[in-house]
Protein backbone atom coordinates (compact mmCIF):
# COMPACT_ATOMS: atom_id res chain seq x y z
CA UNK A 1 0.00 0.00 0.00
CA UNK A 2 1.24 3.48 -0.86
CA UNK A 3 1.67 6.00 1.93
CA UNK A 4 0.04 9.37 1.53
CA UNK A 5 3.28 11.36 1.66
CA UNK A 6 5.02 9.22 -0.99
CA UNK A 7 2.18 8.89 -3.50
CA UNK A 8 3.04 11.83 -5.78
CA UNK A 9 5.32 10.07 -8.36
CA UNK A 10 2.85 7.23 -8.90
CA UNK A 11 -0.16 9.52 -9.03
CA UNK A 12 1.67 11.80 -11.45
CA UNK A 13 2.23 8.88 -13.82
CA UNK A 14 -1.35 7.67 -13.47
CA UNK A 15 -2.67 11.08 -14.46
CA UNK A 16 -0.08 11.89 -17.13
CA UNK A 17 -0.33 8.60 -19.07
CA UNK A 18 -3.95 8.85 -20.32
CA UNK A 19 -3.53 12.57 -21.05
CA UNK A 20 -0.43 12.07 -23.23
CA UNK A 21 -1.92 9.09 -25.11
CA UNK A 22 -5.25 10.85 -25.57
CA UNK A 23 -3.51 13.82 -27.16
CA UNK A 24 -1.26 11.63 -29.31
CA UNK A 25 -3.65 8.93 -30.52
CA UNK A 26 -6.78 11.08 -30.37
CA UNK A 27 -5.09 13.73 -32.52
CA UNK A 28 -4.00 11.09 -35.00
CA UNK A 29 -7.51 9.73 -35.34
CA UNK A 30 -9.01 13.21 -35.71
CA UNK A 31 -6.52 14.17 -38.40
CA UNK A 32 -7.11 11.00 -40.32
CA UNK A 33 -3.54 9.79 -40.14
CA UNK A 34 -4.81 6.24 -39.79
CA UNK A 35 -6.27 6.44 -43.34
CA UNK A 36 -9.73 5.51 -42.29
CA UNK A 37 -8.66 2.52 -40.20
CA UNK A 38 -9.17 3.79 -36.65
CA UNK A 39 -9.60 0.50 -34.83
CA UNK A 40 -5.97 -0.06 -33.70
CA UNK A 41 -5.32 3.43 -32.21
CA UNK A 42 -8.75 3.37 -30.63
CA UNK A 43 -8.19 0.01 -28.93
CA UNK A 44 -4.71 1.00 -27.77
CA UNK A 45 -6.14 4.16 -26.23
CA UNK A 46 -8.88 2.11 -24.62
CA UNK A 47 -6.29 -0.33 -23.29
CA UNK A 48 -4.29 2.53 -21.76
CA UNK A 49 -7.38 3.72 -19.89
CA UNK A 50 -7.94 0.17 -18.64
CA UNK A 51 -4.31 -0.09 -17.45
CA UNK A 52 -4.60 3.24 -15.65
CA UNK A 53 -7.71 2.05 -13.82
CA UNK A 54 -5.92 -1.19 -12.91
CA UNK A 55 -2.93 0.75 -11.58
CA UNK A 56 -5.23 2.86 -9.42
CA UNK A 57 -6.64 -0.31 -7.87
CA UNK A 58 -3.15 -1.68 -7.30
CA UNK A 59 -2.12 1.43 -5.32
CA UNK A 60 -4.11 -0.02 -2.40
CA UNK A 61 -2.66 -3.50 -2.71
CA UNK A 62 1.08 -3.30 -3.42
CA UNK A 63 3.99 -1.11 -2.41
CA UNK A 64 4.92 1.98 -4.40
CA UNK A 65 8.27 0.61 -5.57
CA UNK A 66 6.72 -2.55 -7.00
CA UNK A 67 3.87 -0.60 -8.60
CA UNK A 68 6.42 1.64 -10.30
CA UNK A 69 8.07 -1.42 -11.86
CA UNK A 70 4.69 -2.72 -13.00
CA UNK A 71 3.97 0.61 -14.66
CA UNK A 72 7.28 0.98 -16.48
CA UNK A 73 7.09 -2.56 -17.88
CA UNK A 74 3.48 -1.96 -18.90
CA UNK A 75 4.38 1.37 -20.51
CA UNK A 76 7.21 -0.21 -22.52
CA UNK A 77 4.70 -2.73 -23.84
CA UNK A 78 2.19 0.05 -24.54
CA UNK A 79 4.75 2.16 -26.45
CA UNK A 80 5.76 -0.93 -28.43
CA UNK A 81 2.14 -1.49 -29.41
CA UNK A 82 1.74 2.14 -30.49
CA UNK A 83 4.98 1.99 -32.50
CA UNK A 84 3.89 -1.30 -34.11
CA UNK A 85 0.49 -0.05 -35.31
CA UNK A 86 1.55 3.56 -35.83
CA UNK A 87 2.63 3.18 -39.41
CA UNK A 88 5.98 2.82 -41.19
CA UNK A 89 9.18 1.94 -39.35
CA UNK A 90 10.43 5.53 -39.44
CA UNK A 91 7.31 6.92 -37.69
CA UNK A 92 8.21 9.02 -34.61
CA UNK A 93 6.27 6.96 -32.04
CA UNK A 94 9.46 5.20 -30.90
CA UNK A 95 10.44 8.50 -29.23
CA UNK A 96 7.98 7.60 -26.47
CA UNK A 97 10.53 5.01 -25.34
CA UNK A 98 12.75 7.88 -24.21
CA UNK A 99 9.93 9.27 -22.04
CA UNK A 100 9.49 5.90 -20.30
CA UNK A 101 13.26 5.50 -19.83
CA UNK A 102 13.59 9.00 -18.35
CA UNK A 103 10.83 8.67 -15.76
CA UNK A 104 11.98 5.13 -14.88
CA UNK A 105 15.51 6.42 -14.27
CA UNK A 106 14.28 9.40 -12.21
CA UNK A 107 12.10 7.26 -9.94
CA UNK A 108 13.97 3.92 -10.04
CA UNK A 109 17.40 5.49 -10.59
CA UNK A 110 20.25 4.14 -12.75
CA UNK A 111 19.36 0.48 -12.37
CA UNK A 112 15.76 1.11 -13.40
CA UNK A 113 16.79 3.32 -16.32
CA UNK A 114 19.19 0.71 -17.75
CA UNK A 115 16.70 -2.16 -17.35
CA UNK A 116 13.99 -0.18 -19.16
CA UNK A 117 16.54 0.81 -21.85
CA UNK A 118 17.24 -2.92 -22.36
CA UNK A 119 13.52 -3.70 -22.68
CA UNK A 120 13.00 -0.82 -25.10
CA UNK A 121 15.93 -1.97 -27.27
CA UNK A 122 14.60 -5.54 -27.36
CA UNK A 123 11.06 -4.52 -28.33
CA UNK A 124 12.33 -1.99 -30.88
CA UNK A 125 14.44 -4.73 -32.50
CA UNK A 126 11.41 -7.02 -32.73
CA UNK A 127 9.27 -4.28 -34.27
CA UNK A 128 11.81 -3.46 -37.00
CA UNK A 129 12.96 -6.96 -37.90
CA UNK A 130 9.86 -9.03 -37.20
CA UNK A 131 6.64 -7.17 -36.92
CA UNK A 132 6.68 -4.22 -39.39
CA UNK A 133 6.85 -4.48 -43.18
CA UNK A 134 9.47 -2.08 -44.53
CA UNK A 135 11.04 -1.05 -47.79
CA UNK A 136 14.45 -0.55 -46.11
CA UNK A 137 17.22 -3.15 -46.32
CA UNK A 138 18.57 -5.01 -43.31
CA UNK A 139 21.72 -2.89 -42.98
CA UNK A 140 19.61 0.27 -42.59
CA UNK A 141 17.45 -1.42 -39.95
CA UNK A 142 20.50 -2.71 -38.10
CA UNK A 143 21.95 0.83 -38.21
CA UNK A 144 18.75 2.22 -36.64
CA UNK A 145 18.62 -0.46 -33.95
CA UNK A 146 22.29 0.11 -33.07
CA UNK A 147 22.03 3.88 -32.67
CA UNK A 148 18.66 3.82 -30.93
CA UNK A 149 19.92 1.20 -28.50
CA UNK A 150 22.98 3.36 -27.84
CA UNK A 151 20.82 6.41 -27.17
CA UNK A 152 18.40 4.41 -25.03
CA UNK A 153 21.22 3.35 -22.68
CA UNK A 154 22.83 6.80 -22.74
CA UNK A 155 19.56 8.50 -21.75
CA UNK A 156 18.94 5.81 -19.08
CA UNK A 157 22.40 6.28 -17.54
CA UNK A 158 22.28 10.11 -17.54
CA UNK A 159 18.71 10.22 -16.21
CA UNK A 160 19.59 7.66 -13.51
CA UNK A 161 22.57 9.74 -12.43
CA UNK A 162 20.39 12.87 -12.22
CA UNK A 163 17.69 10.95 -10.33
CA UNK A 164 20.16 9.75 -7.71
CA UNK A 165 21.61 13.25 -7.31
CA UNK A 166 18.12 14.71 -6.88
CA UNK A 167 17.29 12.07 -4.28
CA UNK A 168 20.50 12.76 -2.36
CA UNK A 169 20.01 16.53 -2.42
CA UNK A 170 16.37 16.14 -1.45
CA UNK A 171 17.32 13.96 1.52
CA UNK A 172 20.00 16.43 2.63
CA UNK A 173 17.65 19.40 2.36
CA UNK A 174 14.97 17.45 4.21
CA UNK A 175 17.41 16.59 7.01
CA UNK A 176 18.62 20.18 7.21
CA UNK A 177 15.06 21.46 7.41
CA UNK A 178 14.12 18.87 10.04
CA UNK A 179 17.19 19.63 12.13
CA UNK A 180 16.52 23.37 12.00
CA UNK A 181 12.91 22.85 13.05
CA UNK A 182 13.98 20.61 15.92
CA UNK A 183 16.58 23.12 17.09
CA UNK A 184 14.10 26.00 17.09
CA UNK A 185 11.49 23.93 18.91
CA UNK A 186 13.87 22.70 21.60
CA UNK A 187 16.05 25.71 22.40
CA UNK A 188 15.65 27.08 25.91
CA UNK A 189 14.86 30.58 24.65
CA UNK A 190 11.53 31.66 23.24
CA UNK A 191 11.51 32.80 19.62
CA UNK A 192 8.87 34.69 17.63
CA UNK A 193 9.22 35.82 14.02
CA UNK A 194 6.98 38.42 12.40
CA UNK A 195 6.62 39.53 8.79
CA UNK A 196 6.73 43.15 7.65
CA UNK A 197 3.05 43.60 8.51
CA UNK A 198 3.57 42.57 12.12
CA UNK A 199 1.90 39.19 11.66
CA UNK A 200 3.39 36.26 13.57
CA UNK A 201 4.82 33.66 11.19
CA UNK A 202 6.54 31.43 13.74
CA UNK A 203 6.39 30.89 17.49
CA UNK A 204 8.36 28.05 19.07
CA UNK A 205 7.22 25.87 21.95
CA UNK A 206 9.32 27.66 24.57
CA UNK A 207 7.83 31.03 23.58
CA UNK A 208 4.33 29.63 24.05
CA UNK A 209 5.32 28.30 27.49
CA UNK A 210 6.86 31.57 28.68
CA UNK A 211 4.00 33.73 27.41
CA UNK A 212 1.40 31.06 28.33
CA UNK A 213 -0.16 31.18 24.88
CA UNK A 214 -1.41 28.40 22.63
CA UNK A 215 -0.49 27.96 18.97
CA UNK A 216 -3.98 29.15 17.97
CA UNK A 217 -3.40 32.40 19.88
CA UNK A 218 -0.14 33.18 18.06
CA UNK A 219 0.23 31.68 14.57
CA UNK A 220 -0.99 34.02 11.87
CA UNK A 221 -2.10 36.70 14.35
CA UNK A 222 -0.85 40.28 14.44
CA UNK A 223 1.19 41.05 17.53
CA UNK A 224 -1.35 43.72 18.54
CA UNK A 225 -3.91 40.89 18.98
CA UNK A 226 -1.88 39.24 21.75
CA UNK A 227 -3.27 39.56 25.33
CA UNK A 228 -2.87 42.82 27.22
CA UNK A 229 -1.01 41.03 30.05
CA UNK A 230 2.12 41.14 27.84
CA UNK A 231 1.52 44.77 26.88
CA UNK A 232 5.07 45.91 27.63
CA UNK A 233 6.49 43.36 25.18
CA UNK A 234 3.93 44.42 22.56
CA UNK A 235 4.94 48.06 23.04
CA UNK A 236 8.61 47.18 22.49
CA UNK A 237 7.76 45.31 19.27
CA UNK A 238 5.70 48.24 18.01
CA UNK A 239 8.55 50.65 18.79
CA UNK A 240 10.99 48.42 16.93
CA UNK A 241 8.79 48.39 13.84
CA UNK A 242 8.57 52.18 13.92
CA UNK A 243 12.31 52.61 14.35
CA UNK A 244 14.45 49.51 13.75
CA UNK A 245 17.57 49.54 15.91
CA UNK A 246 20.67 47.46 16.47
CA UNK A 247 19.91 44.40 18.59
CA UNK A 248 20.26 45.32 22.27
CA UNK A 249 19.15 43.28 25.24
CA UNK A 250 16.29 44.77 27.23
CA UNK A 251 13.94 43.62 29.96
CA UNK A 252 10.21 44.06 30.38
CA UNK A 253 7.64 42.90 32.89
CA UNK A 254 4.66 40.79 31.83
CA UNK A 255 1.90 39.02 33.74
CA UNK A 256 1.16 35.32 33.84
CA UNK A 257 -2.40 34.01 33.58
CA UNK A 258 -2.58 33.70 37.38
CA UNK A 259 -1.66 37.37 37.74
CA UNK A 260 1.91 36.83 38.92
CA UNK A 261 4.68 38.94 37.40
CA UNK A 262 7.46 37.74 35.12
CA UNK A 263 10.67 39.42 34.08
CA UNK A 264 11.44 38.85 30.38
CA UNK A 265 14.86 39.54 28.89
CA UNK A 266 14.75 39.91 25.11
CA UNK A 267 16.58 41.00 21.95
CA UNK A 268 15.07 41.98 18.59
CA UNK A 269 16.58 41.74 15.13
CA UNK A 270 15.25 43.40 11.97
CA UNK A 271 15.47 42.28 8.35
CA UNK A 272 15.24 45.27 6.00
CA UNK A 273 14.62 45.80 2.30
CA UNK A 274 17.03 47.98 0.36
CA UNK A 275 14.52 50.79 0.91
CA UNK A 276 15.04 50.41 4.69
CA UNK A 277 11.49 49.17 5.06
CA UNK A 278 11.08 46.36 7.60
CA UNK A 279 10.88 42.95 5.94
CA UNK A 280 10.60 40.97 9.17
CA UNK A 281 11.49 40.92 12.86
CA UNK A 282 12.63 38.14 15.18
CA UNK A 283 12.19 38.36 18.95
CA UNK A 284 14.34 36.10 21.16
CA UNK A 285 13.54 36.12 24.87
CA UNK A 286 13.92 34.26 28.15
CA UNK A 287 12.14 34.20 31.48
CA UNK A 288 14.71 35.77 33.81
CA UNK A 289 12.43 35.91 36.85
CA UNK A 290 14.25 33.11 38.67
CA UNK A 291 17.63 34.49 37.64
CA UNK A 292 16.77 37.92 39.04
CA UNK A 293 15.50 36.32 42.24
CA UNK A 294 18.69 34.26 42.55
CA UNK A 295 20.86 37.32 41.97
CA UNK A 296 18.95 39.28 44.60
CA UNK A 297 19.14 36.34 47.01
CA UNK A 298 22.90 36.01 46.45
CA UNK A 299 23.38 39.71 47.11
CA UNK A 300 21.21 39.46 50.22
CA UNK A 301 23.26 36.46 51.34
CA UNK A 302 26.54 38.38 50.98
CA UNK A 303 25.16 41.37 52.89
CA UNK A 304 23.67 39.13 55.58
CA UNK A 305 26.91 37.18 55.97
CA UNK A 306 28.80 40.43 56.40
CA UNK A 307 26.24 41.59 58.94
CA UNK A 308 26.45 38.25 60.78
CA UNK A 309 30.20 38.66 61.14
CA UNK A 310 29.70 42.16 62.49
CA UNK A 311 27.28 40.82 65.12
CA UNK A 312 29.47 37.83 65.98
CA UNK A 313 32.51 39.91 66.88
CA UNK A 314 30.89 42.04 69.65
CA UNK A 315 28.96 38.96 70.79
CA UNK A 316 32.27 37.20 71.43
CA UNK A 317 33.45 40.21 73.38
CA UNK A 318 30.29 40.23 75.50
CA UNK A 319 30.66 36.51 76.29
CA UNK A 320 34.34 36.86 77.12
CA UNK A 321 33.73 39.84 79.36
CA UNK A 322 30.94 38.02 81.19
CA UNK A 323 33.21 35.01 81.84
CA UNK A 324 35.97 37.26 83.19
CA UNK A 325 33.53 39.06 85.49
CA UNK A 326 32.21 35.74 86.76
CA UNK A 327 35.68 34.51 87.58
CA UNK A 328 37.08 37.74 89.14
CA UNK A 329 34.08 39.09 91.07
CA UNK A 330 32.21 37.65 93.98
CA UNK A 331 28.61 38.02 92.89
CA UNK A 332 25.30 37.18 94.44
CA UNK A 333 23.34 34.10 93.46
CA UNK A 334 20.81 36.02 91.31
CA UNK A 335 23.61 37.89 89.54
CA UNK A 336 25.41 34.59 88.87
CA UNK A 337 22.20 33.19 87.37
CA UNK A 338 21.89 36.21 85.08
CA UNK A 339 25.53 35.82 83.96
CA UNK A 340 24.93 32.15 83.16
CA UNK A 341 21.87 33.21 81.16
CA UNK A 342 24.03 35.66 79.18
CA UNK A 343 26.53 32.90 78.40
CA UNK A 344 23.84 30.42 77.34
CA UNK A 345 22.04 32.91 75.15
CA UNK A 346 25.33 34.09 73.64
CA UNK A 347 26.11 30.48 72.72
CA UNK A 348 22.64 30.03 71.26
CA UNK A 349 22.93 33.20 69.13
CA UNK A 350 26.42 32.14 68.05
CA UNK A 351 25.09 28.75 66.90
CA UNK A 352 22.39 30.45 64.84
CA UNK A 353 24.98 32.74 63.28
CA UNK A 354 27.14 29.72 62.44
CA UNK A 355 24.13 28.05 60.80
CA UNK A 356 23.40 31.17 58.83
CA UNK A 357 27.01 31.52 57.70
CA UNK A 358 27.08 27.87 56.61
CA UNK A 359 23.96 28.39 54.50
CA UNK A 360 25.44 31.55 52.96
CA UNK A 361 28.76 29.85 52.19
CA UNK A 362 28.79 26.07 52.83
CA UNK A 363 32.17 24.56 53.60
CA UNK A 364 33.43 21.65 51.55
CA UNK A 365 32.99 18.30 53.35
CA UNK A 366 36.10 16.29 54.28
CA UNK A 367 35.09 12.78 53.29
CA UNK A 368 36.28 9.57 54.88
CA UNK A 369 34.90 6.08 55.14
CA UNK A 370 32.90 5.72 58.32
CA UNK A 371 30.12 3.73 59.94
CA UNK A 372 26.78 5.34 60.78
CA UNK A 373 26.67 3.99 64.35
CA UNK A 374 28.87 6.71 65.89
CA UNK A 375 27.05 9.82 64.55
CA UNK A 376 23.69 8.24 65.43
CA UNK A 377 24.78 7.51 69.02
CA UNK A 378 26.26 10.99 69.39
CA UNK A 379 23.09 12.67 68.12
CA UNK A 380 20.94 10.69 70.57
CA UNK A 381 23.13 11.95 73.43
CA UNK A 382 22.91 15.56 72.19
CA UNK A 383 19.14 15.45 71.76
CA UNK A 384 18.62 14.44 75.38
CA UNK A 385 20.16 17.73 76.47
CA UNK A 386 17.88 19.83 74.25
CA UNK A 387 15.29 22.00 76.10
CA UNK A 388 12.44 20.41 74.13
CA UNK A 389 13.30 16.88 75.25
CA UNK A 390 11.49 15.28 78.15
CA UNK A 391 11.45 11.83 79.76
CA UNK A 392 8.05 11.21 78.19
CA UNK A 393 9.76 11.06 74.78
CA UNK A 394 11.21 7.63 74.00
CA UNK A 395 14.09 7.30 71.53
CA UNK A 396 14.42 3.86 69.93
CA UNK A 397 17.44 2.90 67.84
CA UNK A 398 17.77 0.10 65.27
CA UNK A 399 21.01 0.09 63.29
CA UNK A 400 21.17 -3.63 62.43
CA UNK A 401 23.90 -6.17 63.13
CA UNK A 402 25.82 -5.42 59.94
CA UNK A 403 27.58 -2.05 60.00
CA UNK A 404 26.65 0.36 57.19
CA UNK A 405 29.51 2.42 55.75
CA UNK A 406 29.42 5.74 53.90
CA UNK A 407 31.93 8.27 52.60
CA UNK A 408 31.05 11.34 54.68
CA UNK A 409 32.17 14.24 56.84
CA UNK A 410 31.28 13.08 60.35
CA UNK A 411 30.88 16.57 61.81
CA UNK A 412 28.51 17.65 59.04
CA UNK A 413 26.59 14.37 59.20
CA UNK A 414 26.03 14.84 62.95
CA UNK A 415 24.65 18.30 62.19
CA UNK A 416 22.17 16.81 59.68
CA UNK A 417 20.97 14.13 62.08
CA UNK A 418 20.80 16.65 64.95
CA UNK A 419 18.71 19.17 62.98
CA UNK A 420 16.22 16.52 61.87
CA UNK A 421 16.01 14.99 65.38
CA UNK A 422 15.38 18.40 67.00
CA UNK A 423 12.56 19.02 64.51
CA UNK A 424 11.06 15.67 65.52
CA UNK A 425 11.39 16.49 69.25
CA UNK A 426 9.66 19.84 68.75
CA UNK A 427 6.87 18.23 66.70
CA UNK A 428 6.04 15.78 69.52
CA UNK A 429 5.62 18.61 72.09
CA UNK A 430 6.95 16.69 75.09
CA UNK A 431 5.37 13.28 74.49
CA UNK A 432 5.90 10.57 71.88
CA UNK A 433 8.43 8.27 70.31
CA UNK A 434 11.36 8.87 67.94
CA UNK A 435 12.54 5.80 66.04
CA UNK A 436 16.00 6.02 64.44
CA UNK A 437 16.91 3.14 62.12
CA UNK A 438 19.26 2.26 59.27
CA UNK A 439 17.67 1.10 55.99
CA UNK A 440 19.07 -0.08 52.66
CA UNK A 441 17.97 0.37 49.04
CA UNK A 442 20.25 -0.99 46.28
CA UNK A 443 23.50 1.00 46.48
CA UNK A 444 22.10 3.57 48.93
CA UNK A 445 21.97 3.48 52.71
CA UNK A 446 19.50 5.58 54.67
CA UNK A 447 19.01 6.78 58.21
CA UNK A 448 15.32 7.03 59.06
CA UNK A 449 13.96 9.43 61.70
CA UNK A 450 10.31 8.60 62.39
CA UNK A 451 8.35 10.51 65.02
CA UNK A 452 4.81 10.38 66.39
CA UNK A 453 4.34 14.12 66.31
CA UNK A 454 1.65 16.30 64.75
CA UNK A 455 2.79 15.76 61.13
CA UNK A 456 3.17 18.23 58.28
CA UNK A 457 0.37 19.69 56.20
CA UNK A 458 0.52 18.48 52.54
CA UNK A 459 0.74 22.03 51.18
CA UNK A 460 3.76 22.71 53.42
CA UNK A 461 5.88 19.76 52.25
CA UNK A 462 7.32 21.71 49.31
CA UNK A 463 8.40 24.56 51.61
CA UNK A 464 10.03 22.86 54.61
CA UNK A 465 13.53 22.88 53.03
CA UNK A 466 13.38 26.55 52.06
CA UNK A 467 15.59 28.91 54.09
CA UNK A 468 13.78 30.85 56.84
CA UNK A 469 10.65 28.70 56.59
CA UNK A 470 9.44 27.63 60.04
CA UNK A 471 6.23 25.63 60.20
CA UNK A 472 5.72 26.07 63.95
CA UNK A 473 7.17 29.58 64.12
CA UNK A 474 9.55 28.61 66.93
CA UNK A 475 12.83 28.78 65.00
CA UNK A 476 14.33 30.84 62.21
CA UNK A 477 13.85 28.03 59.66
CA UNK A 478 17.45 27.14 58.81
CA UNK A 479 17.77 23.61 60.24
CA UNK A 480 16.26 21.60 57.38
CA UNK A 481 17.67 23.95 54.71
CA UNK A 482 21.18 23.31 56.07
CA UNK A 483 20.52 19.57 56.37
CA UNK A 484 19.45 19.36 52.74
CA UNK A 485 22.47 21.37 51.58
CA UNK A 486 24.87 19.07 53.45
CA UNK A 487 23.19 15.91 52.13
CA UNK A 488 23.42 17.24 48.56
CA UNK A 489 27.14 17.84 49.12
CA UNK A 490 27.36 14.11 49.92
CA UNK A 491 25.52 13.18 46.67
CA UNK A 492 22.47 12.12 48.67
CA UNK A 493 18.87 13.15 49.18
CA UNK A 494 16.28 13.54 51.92
CA UNK A 495 12.95 11.75 51.56
CA UNK A 496 9.94 12.98 53.57
CA UNK A 497 6.74 11.10 54.40
CA UNK A 498 4.17 12.70 56.67
CA UNK A 499 0.59 12.29 57.81
CA UNK A 500 -1.16 15.00 59.78
CA UNK A 501 -1.97 13.85 63.31
CA UNK A 502 0.19 10.70 63.10
CA UNK A 503 3.75 11.90 62.53
CA UNK A 504 6.54 12.28 60.00
CA UNK A 505 9.41 10.20 58.66
CA UNK A 506 12.62 11.76 57.30
CA UNK A 507 15.04 9.40 55.53
CA UNK A 508 18.55 10.65 54.79
CA UNK A 509 19.82 8.64 51.80
CA UNK A 510 23.56 8.47 51.15
CA UNK A 511 25.65 6.42 48.69
CA UNK A 512 26.89 3.29 50.44
CA UNK A 513 30.67 2.93 50.55
CA UNK A 514 32.02 -0.24 48.93
Alpha helices in 198-288 (DSSP H): 205-211, 215-218, 231-242
Three-state SS for 443-470 is CEEEEEEEECCCCCCHHHCCCCCCCCCC
**Do 12 and 48 have their domain in common?**
yes
- Which of 134, 163, 181 delimits the end of a domain? 181
Instruction: Answer yes or no: is pLDDT of 176 > 60.
Output: no
Rounding to the nearest 10 degrees, give the CA dihedral for residues 144, 147, 151, 153. Answer: 100
Higher-scoring residue by pLDDT: 117, 43: 117
Highest mean pLDDT among 157-161, 173-177, 474-478: 157-161
User: Do 417 and 475 sit in the same domain of this protein?
Assistant: yes
Least confident of 116-120, 335-339, 435-439: 335-339
Question: 330 by DSSP, 3-state: which?
Answer: coil
pLDDT of 29 higher than 50:
yes
Contact assessment for residue 418 and residue 425, using Cβ atoms and an 8 Å cutoff: no
The answer to whether the beta carbons of residues 99 and 105 sit under 8 Å apart is: no
Continuous H helices in 86-137: 96-126
Q: Are residues 506 and 427 in the same domain?
A: yes
Residue 199 is classified by DSSP as B
Does an H or E element contain 310, and which?
Answer: helix 289-328
Neighbours of 183 (CB within 10 A): 10
Same domain, yes or no: 500 and 432: yes
Residues contacting 222, CB < 8 A, separation 6+ = 197, 198, 199, 200
Strand 250-255 vs strand 200-203: parallel, antiparallel, or unpaired? unpaired
- Same domain assignment for residues 505 and 476: yes
**Exposure string for 78-117, b = 16+ CB within 10 A, e = fewer:** bbbbbbbbbeebeeebbebbbebbbbbbbbbbbebbbbbb
- Check whether 115 has a pLDDT greater than 80: yes
pLDDT tens track for 227-249: 999 999 999 999 888 888 777 78
Domain hosting 324: range is: 296-360
Tell me, yes or no, whether 482 and 342 share the same domain.
no
Whether residues 250 and 396 fall in one domain: no
450: closest CA among 495, 383, 492, 401?
495
Residues 194 and 157 in one domain: no
- Mean per-residue pLDDT of the chain: 81
Q: Are residues 340 and 441 in the same domain?
A: no
User: In the listed set 263, 287, 311, which residue is the last one of a domain according to the structure?
Assistant: 287
Residues 136, 42 within the same domain: yes
Domain boundary among 340, 360, 380: 360
Residues 136 and 229 in one domain: no
pLDDT digits (tens, 9 = 90+) for 254-302: 998 888 888 889 999 888 888 888 888 999 998 887 776 566 656 656 6
Instruction: Looking at the structure, tell me whether residues 118 and 218 fall in a common domain.
Output: no
Quote the number of domains for the chain: 4
Amino acid sequence: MIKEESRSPVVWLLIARPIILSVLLGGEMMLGRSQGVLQAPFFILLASYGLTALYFLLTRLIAEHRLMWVQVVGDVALVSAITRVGGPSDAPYYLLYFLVIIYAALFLFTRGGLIVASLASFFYFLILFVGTPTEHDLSYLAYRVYFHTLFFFLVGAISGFLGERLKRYGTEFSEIGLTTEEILENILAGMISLNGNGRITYCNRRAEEILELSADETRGKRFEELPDRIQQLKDEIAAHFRKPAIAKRKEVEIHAKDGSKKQIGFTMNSFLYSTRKVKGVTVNFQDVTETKYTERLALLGELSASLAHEIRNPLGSIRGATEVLGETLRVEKDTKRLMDLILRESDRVNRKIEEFLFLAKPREPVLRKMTLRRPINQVISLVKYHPGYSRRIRIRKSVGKKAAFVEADEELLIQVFHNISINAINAMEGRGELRISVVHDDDMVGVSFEDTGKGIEPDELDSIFKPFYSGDGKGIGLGLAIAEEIVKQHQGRIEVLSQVGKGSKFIVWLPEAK
